[in-house]
Chain A
Amino acid sequence: MSTRPSMIGRFGLYAFLLVTAAFFAIPLLIVFLTALKDSDEARAASIFLLPGSPDFEAFRVAWLEACIGRECSGISGRFWNSVIITVLSTSISLLLASINGFALAMWDLRRGGLVLGLLLIGAFVPYQVMIYPLVRIFALGGMHQTLTAIVVVHVLFGLPILTLIFRNFYVGLPPELIKAGRVDGAGFFQIYRFIVMPMSLNVAIVAGIISVTGVWNDYLLGLIFAGPSWQPMTVSVASLSATASSGVPEHNVNMAATLLTALPPLLLYLVSGRYFVRGVTSGAVKG
């Protein structure tokens, strides 16, 4: 901007950007190309060759017929498992986190800082330190490997960052909002519902993106807490590629399944643009 950069410097700059862009773009392109091939071509020909007769057959097989363990009905069922887990976890987390954020930001509660601190410290503890007791607790309640269990752990581990995002947003709102509501005789939940909630759309989108990508992309929690009947897509895709190598490897189907798993967060990323960037950076802003 300041000094006029030389032509060579400019050229080097764009060369650097293009080479790195290729490094980032190529793996996904290769996955896509492989998914368009038939199984012989995917097995024998170089991954960089374009498919001879590209079609979406591998996607159909992955969706409806691919074998996970002994069951050969594709990953479509797991896709809907993931959808249900993600929708439930995200809506419960957002509701709880926004109420928390509102209570912590605007009501000057005694020990409010302590509650937030307890929540945030927990966010830095690796899951591995907590999973086994959680399994025992769910087993005691007869809920081991149920939909309830997987949704509760997702809410539990999502709450710190989501609460922080809502709190940081509400701290910036004028306190007069509450005072006005109080004068009119409104209670906590009325002020939340009719004054605060309608102003929260933007921050809810950011928090929602974090929650959806986090829950959808999770593997460990799904593996341990969801069980076979609620197995999410990430878990089945990971084991799908393991089983396919036992017989004739069908790399094209594996790659199609991989791509189908990647698609929802990828579309969310492309559609939401700036919100996504705010989402991933908001974790970085100091609370």
Chain B
Amino acid sequence: MKLRPRTVASLALVPTILLTVIGYYVSILWTVGLSFTPSRILPVARWAGFDMYERLFQTERWHVAYTNLYIFGGLYIGFCLVIGLGLAIALDQSVRGRSFFQTIFLYPVALSFIVTGLAWRWLLNPTTGLQDFVRGLGFESFTLDLLSSPDRAIFTLVIAGVWHSAGLTMVILFAGLQSIDQEIWQASRVDCIPRWRMYWHVVLPMLWPVVVTCLVLLGMQVVRSYDLVVVLTGGGPGYSTDVPAKFIVDHYFERQNVGLASAAATLLLLTVVALFVLVSILRRKGAAT
């Protein structure tokens, strides 16, 4: 018997469907289910209601980690957008050596967060790093002891993260700028409108969908930020730079607290869902204006 090619096309999707349904959706439901059990090292199937969530909310470390998600996320996304937009606009001024500059701005995107974290930990080390360099310039009392300060260590994550990802934002926004109709510039010349006002009032609103896309991409990096934290600060000093992604992995695989970790993972999932609702509102708002 010979199958119709269209039937074969459907069958060709079966491995992927199986892989996604089991890998994604069964796993997600399983995790949500585990969050309602008192599982420790191994999963147990006993109903514990919202006990794990209550315990989670009483855990100081979770509060720090969850707050850090927004501190790190806000600063990281903000700086990436500002620097990325600045660079994209600068490169759009028909500068010489544009591809050279673009190559330099974008190369960190090719590197892993592990490499990024190791490089910046080395740069920020207090004995031979940046602090020592600035002191050598004559500023004897200069301190850049970011890594060992519980209040400020989070900024090292922001610096390293922005270094890694600002180029990505630049290249996406630059592609957006290039796709804008060049006739608006002729129109602005006729009306004698300064360039910066054109960017602020005309170009930026036109770029809005691209900006939202950047927001989504950067937001995903924030939610997933695990590697950078592990290498650069290890979540410390103490747990001052912990993030949910690290909290969850630690509680699953080191602290043998599967129920609590699952509750945290479920909350992280809900956060992503909430952010997506926010993004779709932002999209619609951009489309409406």
Residues of A within 8 A of B (CB): 1-3, 5, 13-14, 16-17, 20-21, 23-28, 30-31, 34, 42-48, 96, 99-100, 102-104, 107, 109, 115, 118-119, 121-122, 124-134, 136-137, 152-153, 155-156, 159, 163, 182, 186-189, 191, 213, 216-220, 224, 234, 237-238, 241, 251, 254-255, 258, 261-262, 265-266, 268-270, 276-277, 280-281, 283-284, 286
Contacts and interface: CB of A to CB of B under 8 A. Distances in A.
Nearest to A18: B101
Contact of A119 (B20, B136, B189, B223): B20
Contacts of A107: 5-6, 9-10
A124 B27 contact: no
A103 B120 CA distance: 45
Contacts of B15: 96
A31 B105 contact: no
B5 A188 contact: yes
B114 A237 contact: yes
A30 B119 contact: yes
Contacts of A23: 163
A224 B188 CA distance: 56
A126 B269 contact: yes
A1 B180 CA distance: 14
A45 B132 CA distance: 10
B101 A125 contact: no
Interface in B112-149: 112-115, 118-123, 128-130, 132-133, 136
A137 B22 contact: yes
B186 interface: yes
Contact of A219 (B9, B21, B27, B114): B114
A213 B110 contact: yes
Interface string B241-279: 000110011001100001001100110110010001000
A281 B171 contact: yes
B75 interface: no
Nearest to A190: B5
A241 B197 CA distance: 50
Contact of B34 (A96, A132, A277): A132
B10 A122 contact: no
Nearest to A240: B118
B204 interface: no
B25 interface: yes
Given A118-B17, A255-B122, A284-B213, 11 more contacts: A1-B182, A20-B105, A23-B163, A103-B13, A115-B16, A132-B262, A187-B8, A224-B253, A262-B112, A277-B106, A281-B172
B183 to A, nearest CB: 11
A182 B6 CA distance: 11
B93 A46 contact: no
B167 A24 contact: yes
B95 A13 contact: yes
B111 interface: yes
A44 B128 contact: yes
Nearest to A235: B114
The 10 closest A-B pairs by CB, nearest first: A217-B112, A122-B24, A188-B8, A269-B110, A133-B30, A133-B27, A130-B27, A107-B9, A219-B227, A103-B9
B76 interface: no
A189 B272 contact: no
Nearest to A120: B20
6 contacts: A28-B108, A45-B128, A122-B20, A238-B227, A277-B102, A280-B172
A278 B32 CA distance: 37
Contacts of B105: 20-21, 24
Contacts of A159: 16, 19-20
A132 B168 CA distance: 31
A46 B136 CA distance: 9
A284 B211 CA distance: 10
Given A24-B104, A47-B122, A132-B258, A2 B189 contact: yes
A216 B269 CA distance: 26
B70 to A, nearest CB: 15
Contacts of B231: 238, 241
A197 B247 CA distance: 44
B265 to A, nearest CB: 5
Contacts of B23: 122, 130, 134, 153, 156
Interface stretch (B51-59, B82-90, B150-158): B82-90
B111 A262 contact: yes
A90 to B, nearest CB: 15
B122 A124 contact: no
A130 B28 contact: yes
A255 B122 CA distance: 9
A266 to B, nearest CB: 6
Nearest to A187: B5
